[in-house]
Amino acid sequence: MIQPTVTDEEEATNTPSLLGCHLEDLEYNTVTKDDIQVGDEFYIVVKSEYASGQSMSIDLEDRAKDFEYNGVHMKDDIIRGIPIQGDITKVKVKAIATQNI
């Protein structure tokens, strides 16, 4: 399960909320984690409210494959420090073969 969490502790007038997320292929079709194969690039789409300017972490938790974000291997399948930019944030990720680091 994909689990985004807001990591910035800055207070706002309205409480920041993460409303949900899903995966999309590069043609913007909704896909599941099981649809994604090693070598595939895809988007994680996060819907939020009052969270712009904060950052989040996303845990992709997948034992069969690892992931790269901005060309960097994500340790423990967790993408950290993703800036939230508006009510919809898209994060481009690539599935890679599991690495024993």
Q: What is the pLDDT of residue 10?
A: 46
Mean pLDDT of 28-39: 95
Q: Sort 39 into a burial class: Cβ within 10 Å, 0-12 / 13-18 / 19+.
A: exposed
What is the percentage of the chain residues whose pLDDT exceeds 90? 58
Predicted confidence (pLDDT) at residue 28 exceeds the cutoff of 60: yes
CA nearest to 86, candidates 43, 48, 57, 58: 48
> Which domain does 26 fall in, by range?
3-8+16-96
User: How many domains does the structure of the chain reveal?
Assistant: 1
Tokens of 85: 């930019």
Residue 101 lies in a domain: no
Mean pLDDT of 15-23: 90
CB 90 within 8 A of CB 79: no
| Stated pTM of the model | 0.80
What would the pLDDT profile of 62-87 be if each residue is shown by its tens digit? 888 999 999 999 988 999 889 998 99
